[in-house]
Structure 1
């Protein structure tokens, strides 16, 4: 693995992942070599690195453990639906 490189993430906060899912790739500074980053655990991504440059030992993703990824995925889908359907602004409330 490179000591430092450029991070490309494929997953974001709120995504449900299974152990072994590829969540990112790190390329060396010259783009000659790239390694894939797989999760060691199943769960929900609750945080991730946002800087494009990472170094060996940096935390790239924070994954919250859940009892059931199926239940977690359903809960996240329900939350997403609620957020998409909710009006951000009520025109009558805008002054």
Structure 2
């Protein structure tokens, strides 16, 4: 599934267009094939995710978590990403 993800760390906040894929025990975030966007190639080990929370902000559904001191936030832009993540996380 393709979506936009906010990734923030001590250096700041970045937005990435990403393909999300789940494999056993991990979530992969990669740059979508054939699309010129910022480089992204992350493997997030599900058992190492911290502070996982689903919430609504200004009427918009979001899921956020920390992995290796980096915050990942997924926002529902109408592509049903929140349901997809809730089923797999």
Whether TM exceeds 0.5 here: the answer is no
Judging by fraction of residues, say which structure has more strand. 2
Larger Rg: 1
Superposition TM-score, scaled by structure 2 size = 0.29
User: What's the TM-score, normalizing by structure 1?
Assistant: 0.27
